[in-house]
Structure 1
Amino acid sequence: MVFVTSSTRSSPQGGYAADLALLAIGGSALLIAIILWFDNAQGGLTGNGVFKSLELKAWVVDPASAPLYPANYLFYPVYGALCRVLDLLGVFAGDPRRQITILNAVSCSLCLCAVYLLVRALTGDRLVALLAALFHISSSFVMFLAIVNEDILPSYTLLFASMALGAVWFARPTTARVVAVAALFSLAWLFEWRLMFPTLPAMLVALWLGEKHPALRVGRSALFLATMAAMASVAALASHGHNGAVGPLDLLWTGKAVNSVWAGFTWPKVGYLWDGMVAYLLGAGVAAIPGIPGWDIWRYTATVWMLAIAAVAVPMLWRARHDSRAVALAAVFGVTFVAGSVFNLYSQPQDPQMQINVMAWLTPAWALVLVAAQRRWGARGLAALGALTITLLAYNVWSLAPLRGLDGKWQQAVERLEKESDPARTVFVLHDFDWSMIYASLHWGTAEPGVEALGPAPQALPKFKWIGFTGQVLRHPEWTTEAHVADLRRQIDRALELGYDVLVARLWSMEQKQLETETGMVADSARLAALHRLLRTDYAATLAFDDPVAGPFHRLRRAPGR
């Protein structure tokens, strides 16, 4: 017997309010402490938070005219209002880039409450529910996204809550339960549209299997979909006339990133998918062992750990397959995992934001491991797994150490960069994912890459002038390699003709393997090699300066004979 009945409760009842307060307040305090220690709102993986915070700023300063974005329809209005509250409280006042981290920490702590309620509803065990919540916050991607300024946490919290509710209520669905779960689920994807896809089929499968009357199965599924459409209609009606407002059909299908450079199935993404799955549990950080080909502690330890969890949880669910609660739990979280893995293979399988919802199965599966350990070894089993979870949390925090303090370090690097090169007379050639681009955009102001709008040097505005090494690959993936090479040459030549110093950051001396790693799935190795070869054959370079944080900057000039 896996799930609780009135005669199998193994821990005292009550304590809900105290436990939820502990998770909400204690979880927030822990995460905010890590935020202050980490001093790196960007997290060191992507620069999305910089650009999200700049878009959010409009919702803080002038919400009446700030634009709505269909793929994040509720995120900006809600987080904008919450940032105004933080302004009033004096918490990172006027700095949405860092305020997002605080809001994410609080959101994550609320997600821990959802974990607790799910596990306690299924097992009836207070201690198992608390330990499952501890495991959730200890998982690398959950903790990491709760302390940086990515935008996924509020939508993920709503999504997990809807999944938890579906896993409990769809065991015995009613009209009210279907509407409630569908409404909560819709709020999640109205914050972040792409979250709809892995979990929508999971919800429908769980609902179909949970409904015992064949005549009602189609009706329940139709009700779920109709509630989603109704929620989209309410959101569209409430925002009617606002800047960027769209209709319900445009909310149900935004098409975000469907035809982007990230889209498409390729064999290298299988390896990225593995990396994304294992990194959900364990941070790579300090664990990788360079110089030992084909082996590192991080990847294989996480793989074995997750397989061990599945090896315990899946047979437990299979033995309980006649219990509708086991069916609903397996359908909601299992189908989300399967559908999400396929979805991620089409997009960015290594990205924390793409894996956090797909790997949500690991927490309820860990709860089943806790139940199994308690049955076999009693309190000693739970104590051992609790200690293991605390070790996981400590390790994942420790893995952040190499990225600690980057906000301050990069601010100083940009200040040094301004002293070494006059921004009015300089055009930078940067990898589009380089941190020099991210932090220059933050401190000097955002600017689109390219030289089309530039006049002769010197030109004060925009202060940040740059050419993206893979800029046109991102914007025009349909172009041929020859077209990308020709466009990069044209832009660099034009900047030189206008009298600018052209400084290339890090790219000049970068090895092909490192270039491929930093570019990820955006361009194949042949295209990257052709772009890199262009720099070496058409231009000569001299080292201008070497910054301890930003790396080497080389000054380009046309190669002799061109």
Structure 2
Amino acid sequence: MTPLPLSDVRLDSRSNRGTFLDLALLVVGSSAVLIALILWFDNAQGGLTGNGVFKSLELTPWVVDPAHAPLYPSNYLFYPIYGALCRLLDLLGVFAGDPRRQLTILNAASASLCTGVAYLLARAMTGDRIIGLLTGAFHLATSHVMFLAIVNEDIMPSYTVMFAAMALAAVWFAHPSAARVAAVAVLFSTGWLFEWRLMFPTLPAMLAALWFCEPRLKRRIAWIALFLACMLATTAVVAMAWHGHTGAVGPFDLIWTGKAVRSVWAGFTWAKVGYLWDGIVAYLLGTGVTTFDWLPGWDIWRFVTTFLLVGIAFVASSMLWPTRDEGRARALLAVFGVTFLAGEVFNLYSQPQDPQMQINVMAWVTPAWALVLLAARRRWPARGLAAMAAATVALFAYNVWSIAPLRGLDSKWRNAIERLEHESDPARTVFLLHDFDWTMVYASLHWGTAEPGIAGLGPAPQALPKFKWIGFTGDVLRHPDWSAERHVESLRRQIDRALALGYEVIVVRLWDIPEAQLLTETGMVADAARLGALQRMLRTDFAARPAAVDPVAGSLYRLQPAAGR
């Protein structure tokens, strides 16, 4: 088999001009496609989590008053840089004054740059312009990348910088030098300073690449020491740049922020193995089709996507095998392979189904696809790439179709919150909500954020906070060490107290939600026994009178103490 030209490619001035033209077309074209999707989708939240609402609220001070805005150690560079970019969008009149939607535009621009990085990596691996273009297009078409590029989650800028660092390491670490190691270390550190947790899957991968690509022991140790020193120096420079600012911390506090380490999300459970499988396969294909009625018990989405990913990995491995003793293959395998292995172990400890947790870990699929394209071109020179191009178009179309049911949720929920305000006076109402329910997210957006609970409430009516709510699993999230009995008692006490203060307690959707669905929505943070105990208490100790059925928010009930209490 012909060896791969990885890291041995030399481009003349004419090839350089072609590369720059390709990059311009990819970045501009990708931006146009993604912005068109944003406008069509009309759903800045995306339908997975409400993180974007709360990130945009934390971002707003960096837009309106950056001198006094607080820094957050786990996202140290994200808020200052995105705040400055939002101010630029304000000047351009792009969603002016609305950081929640401006985030989607900035994420689209970031993903477009990442498409260019995928092109450059594939071009360096194969020396083939068409393969580079098709690899960039494929990267954008994968479900997680496309989806996170058009919503307001905060991972895309960090991922883009980290992917660039990984791509550069995969090429340069084949033949490391002081300048190359230092440059990759600085870029890598910049990436995780946007989002701290991205350090963990890729740091061991970078060190492994330096170890396996350098045959001399002393040089191995020297390269690793240089990488770590440059990482620490970059962190120190960033810490010094913000010294004295509100929320500023030192370099060692940036290296270890402890984000979510002791939260309810942390810990290994067998249930997370299933969530891990979901997260891996969802990287490639969205969930537009999961089952067919005429194939009972056959989960078409998980099994077919698993087959596709295994096939991509097999073909890519067969292409790399002849060069397994060379630095270029070792660097590629170490950087992307170790990131995948370390990342999935890390994900099993946290939230393995979350696209934000999988996007950087599954980055191996893009260079693997470049090798699939190379194999197809060698086997079927013209028809092979044409078929792969058609597959990429089909992948993109399928993933867009998969999110179509979520289209328009921003407008629908704005209307739903208006109806909710008409049905129940917020000054006299406390809502009982599932903590991950979209009613909570959009009520926070339109009425103002408020911590769950009634500890600070006076007698009804009370105008502020406008949004008053009790979280069904609020104490489970905040006190994972409590017993189930204590969680049940706390929830009962909060509802009783709200009623005693003269508030109506409106339960949204929770009253008639099936136990299996409740476990599906909350299984990452609470076991079935705990959820069952909370639900039984609710139905035993309280009576519910139907209030309304909202086409978006779901069923609304007014709670009262059960007879005999």
Is the shorter-chain TM-score for this pair beyond 0.5, marking a shared fold? yes
Alpha-carbon distance between aligned partners in 1 of 2:348 and 2:326, rounded to the nearest angstrom: 33
Alpha-carbon distance between aligned partners in 2 of 1:297 and 1:18, rounded to the nearest angstrom: 40
Query: Is the alpha carbon distance of 1:534 and 1:85 closer, same or farther for their aligned partners in structure 2, counting shifts above 3 Å?
Result: same
Counterpart of 2:207?
204
Unaligned runs of 5+ in 2: none
Alpha-carbon distance between aligned partners in 2 of 1:210 and 1:536, rounded to the nearest angstrom: 63
Counterpart of 1:509?
512
Alpha-carbon distance between aligned partners in 1 of 2:296 and 2:45, rounded to the nearest angstrom: 30
Letter in 2 for 1:155: S
Counterpart of 1:22?
25
Q: CA deviation at 1:287?
A: 4.4
Say yes or no: does 1:85 pair with 2:88. Answer: yes
Say yes or no: does 1:269 pair with 2:272. Answer: yes
Of 361, 364, 369, the residue aligned with 1:361 is 364
SS at match of 1:495: helix
Of 237, 261, 280, the residue aligned with 2:240 is 237
Output one character per residue of 1:463-490: Cα deviation in whole Å (capped at 9) or x when no partner: 0000000000000000000000000000
Counterpart of 1:488?
491
SS at match of 1:400: helix
Of 6, 11, 35, the residue aligned with 2:38 is 35
Query: Is the alpha carbon distance of 1:383 and 1:102 closer, same or farther for their aligned partners in structure 2, counting shifts above 3 Å?
Result: same
Counterpart of 1:328?
331
Counterpart of 2:433?
430
Unaligned runs of 5+ in 1: none
CA contact (8 A) 2:44 2:100 kept: yes
CA contact (8 A) 1:132 1:363 kept: yes
Of 500, 503, 522, the residue aligned with 1:500 is 503
CA contact (8 A) 1:286 1:402 kept: no
* Count of aligned pairs between the two proteins: 562
Report 1:137-286 matches (<5 A).
Answer: 137-286=140-289
CA contact (8 A) 2:6 2:124 kept: no
Alpha-carbon distance between aligned partners in 2 of 1:7 and 1:486, rounded to the nearest angstrom: 67
Of 460, 464, 474, the residue aligned with 1:461 is 464
CA contact (8 A) 2:289 2:300 kept: no
Alpha-carbon distance between aligned partners in 1 of 2:214 and 2:61, rounded to the nearest angstrom: 46
Q: CA deviation at 1:296?
A: 2.7
Report 1:440-459 matches (<5 A).
Answer: 440-459=443-462
Output one character per residue of 1:224-281: Cα deviation in whole Å (capped at 9) or x when no partner: 0111111110011000000000000000000001111000000010110000000000
Query: Is the alpha carbon distance of 1:271 and 1:376 closer, same or farther for their aligned partners in structure 2, counting shifts above 3 Å?
Result: same
Alpha-carbon distance between aligned partners in 1 of 2:164 and 2:8, rounded to the nearest angstrom: 27
Query: Is the alpha carbon distance of 1:233 and 1:8 closer, same or farther for their aligned partners in structure 2, counting shifts above 3 Å?
Result: closer
Q: CA deviation at 1:299?
A: 1.6
SS at match of 1:399: helix
Counterpart of 1:555?
558
SS at match of 1:378: coil
Q: CA deviation at 1:128?
A: 0.4
Q: CA deviation at 1:215?
A: 1.2
Alpha-carbon distance between aligned partners in 2 of 1:81 and 1:471, rounded to the nearest angstrom: 34
Query: Is the alpha carbon distance of 1:19 and 1:208 closer, same or farther for their aligned partners in structure 2, counting shifts above 3 Å?
Result: same
Query: Is the alpha carbon distance of 1:9 and 1:123 closer, same or farther for their aligned partners in structure 2, counting shifts above 3 Å?
Result: farther
Instruction: Single out whichever of 311-320 and 175-184 deviates more from structure 2.
Output: 311-320
Of 49, 54, 58, the residue aligned with 1:46 is 49
Query: Is the alpha carbon distance of 1:7 and 1:496 closer, same or farther for their aligned partners in structure 2, counting shifts above 3 Å?
Result: closer
CA contact (8 A) 1:59 1:76 kept: yes
CA contact (8 A) 2:45 2:151 kept: yes
Letter in 1 for 2:5: V
CA contact (8 A) 1:208 1:217 kept: yes
Counterpart of 2:538?
535
The normalised TM-score by structure 2 is 0.98
Counterpart of 2:297?
294
The normalised TM-score by structure 1 is 0.98
Alpha-carbon distance between aligned partners in 2 of 1:251 and 1:228, rounded to the nearest angstrom: 11
CA contact (8 A) 1:2 1:123 kept: no
Output one character per residue of 1:291-347: Cα deviation in whole Å (capped at 9) or x when no partner: 965323222221111011011111221221022111100100000000001000000
Alpha-carbon distance between aligned partners in 1 of 2:487 and 2:7, rounded to the nearest angstrom: 67
Alpha-carbon distance between aligned partners in 1 of 2:326 and 2:366, rounded to the nearest angstrom: 20
Output one character per residue of 1:377-402: Cα deviation in whole Å (capped at 9) or x when no partner: 00110000110110000010011110
Of 7, 12, 15, the residue aligned with 1:13 is 15
SS at match of 1:542: strand
Of 300, 315, 318, the residue aligned with 2:318 is 315
CA contact (8 A) 2:288 2:398 kept: no
CA contact (8 A) 1:10 1:125 kept: no
Q: CA deviation at 1:289?
A: 3.9
Query: Is the alpha carbon distance of 1:37 and 1:17 closer, same or farther for their aligned partners in structure 2, counting shifts above 3 Å?
Result: same
CA contact (8 A) 1:178 1:220 kept: yes
SS at match of 2:4: coil
Letter in 1 for 2:128: D
CA contact (8 A) 2:430 2:470 kept: yes
Alpha-carbon distance between aligned partners in 2 of 1:236 and 1:165, rounded to the nearest angstrom: 25
Q: CA RMSD in A?
A: 1.5
Of 394, 400, 403, the residue aligned with 2:403 is 400
Report 1:102-141 matches (<5 A).
Answer: 102-141=105-144
SS at match of 2:66: coil
CA contact (8 A) 1:287 1:399 kept: no
Q: CA deviation at 1:71?
A: 0.2
CA contact (8 A) 1:349 1:355 kept: yes
CA contact (8 A) 2:7 2:125 kept: no
Alpha-carbon distance between aligned partners in 2 of 1:380 and 1:493, rounded to the nearest angstrom: 70
SS at match of 2:431: strand
